[in-house]
Every structure is written in structure tokens, then in C-alpha cells.
Amino acid sequence: MMNFTKFDLTGKTAIVTGGGRGIGKGICLSLAQAGANVVVANRNANTAEATAREVQAIGRSSLAIPTDVCVPGQIEQMVRKTVETFGTIDILVNNAGGTTREMDVPLLEMSENNWDSAVDLNLKSVFLCSQMIARVMVPKKQGIIVNISSWLAFAPSLGCIPYGSAKAGVNNLTQTMANILAPHNIRVNAIAPGIILTDRLGVGRVALSEVLELKRKTVPLGRLGTPEDIGWVVVFLASDAAAYITGQVLSVDGGSRLLP
């Protein structure tokens, strides 16, 4: 008989960066449904509070902490408030990231600031958050880190050049941290989503309607992903059901990488 309690996260405390909307919100709600208490770390306090209320409506404790994950002092405050409230940190989901129109600059016109802003948000933040929270996890010899990468880590990222480069760095950092932290019983994995249907889809040059039509024709499973598709994979990787999995980058893209 299958032991479904291995998927149970009751009593665990999770931090989700960028948890106020989109994929991050889907992750927060999935973790809550699996039993975890959830800290919603987000630059926008209003969206963080809204997601925290939805977590609480599920019956879990939740704390909204306005946090810019590019600022070490704000990360330190996030860690301190979480430990003060819940006593420890069991799960970290490095979800904060993305692109903006300001980052979407052609190669020959890109400034150093364009590059740095994308890499800081999508790669440096993963390092900073993981380092600070690993310092909480190492003494207790237990912890889970899940990094959100991207399908663009495996392909040319013509729309936002530093974004794809940063996400490729996330994959390498995931494998490196997994090796370093394994002796402390801390597992580190990454998820590489395909195109996920969120309110930010279509921010770049391609209109949302064009993206939807393109993916309808090309994704083998015939649909865009949802935030919940990513959220439940996070639950799996954070649970005892994945106890022998570390250092992996799991593509969740409807089979898009299978295409020639």
C-alpha cells in the first residue's frame, strides 16, 4: 500500500520568494494545501498580504514579509522574522525573478546596468537567500531548497539575453549547492518551467494572444502550464517522497523540450 503521508508537509515552515502572484502564489497555495505554514516574501506588500490571507483561508499560518531579494539587509530581516515567528525554516523556494521591458534590450544596445539588474534578480538573489537560510538549516541537519529556473536556461534567450544566462547559472548553482549541502541532509533541486499562464505573460515583445496561439500549436500536451502545475512539483520535491533526489533540474514544460 502506498504511503501518502510521505507527501505531507504538516508542521513545516516554507519561505517562498516572489510569492505574491503568478507562479509564486501557486507555490504558496500548493504548499499550504500540503500542510505547510508559508512565509510570503514579496516586494509588493499588498500582493504578499493577499496571498497570505489565501493561505490562512486554507487553514495554515502565514506571514507576509515585504522583501527585495536583491538587498541583503532585507533578506536578513526576512530570515529573522520567520525564525522569530515559526522557530525555524524547513523549506526555501527561490521563486523571485523574471524580466522587465528595461531588461529586454538587444545585445549591441545592452548596458551594464541592463545586464546587472537581470542577473542580480534571477541569480544573485538565489545565492543570497540560499546562503542565509542554509545557515539556519545546517545546524539542525535538515532542509529543502527548491530553485525556480526556466526552460530558457537550455535554449537561446533572444528576448532577454541576461535572463537565460542567469537561469543557466541557477541550474549550475543548484547542482553545486546540492553537493556542498548534502552532508548536512539538505536537498537542493530546481524546476525549469515552460511558459506558464500568469498575469505577467506577454510583458515582453510578443503579445499574449500570439504566445497562446504559438503554444497551442507547439506544446505536446496542448496547453500552457498553470502556477499550480509548478506548485505541486515543489510539494513533491519538498516532501519525503523525494528523499533521494538532489541536484536535479526538473523540466515542467508540457513536453516542449521533446520537440526537435
What is the DSSP pairing of strand 13-17 with strand 91-94? parallel
d(CA 160, CA 115): 9
| Chain centroid to CA 61 | 20
- Terminal Cα distance for the chain, rounded: 40
Q: 10 Å Cβ neighbour count for 45?
A: 14
d(CA 82, CA 89): 7
d(CA 128, CA 96): 12
CA angle 55, 59, 60 (to 5 degrees): 60
Q: Which of 86, 151, 154, 163 is catalytic?
A: 163
Which cell is 225 given?
502550464
Which cell is 9 given?
508537509
| Closest C-alpha to 234, from 78, 17, 11 | 17
Query: Could you confirm whether 244 is annotated as catalytic?
Result: no
| Closest C-alpha to 96, from 76, 126, 116 | 126
| Catalytic center residues | 163
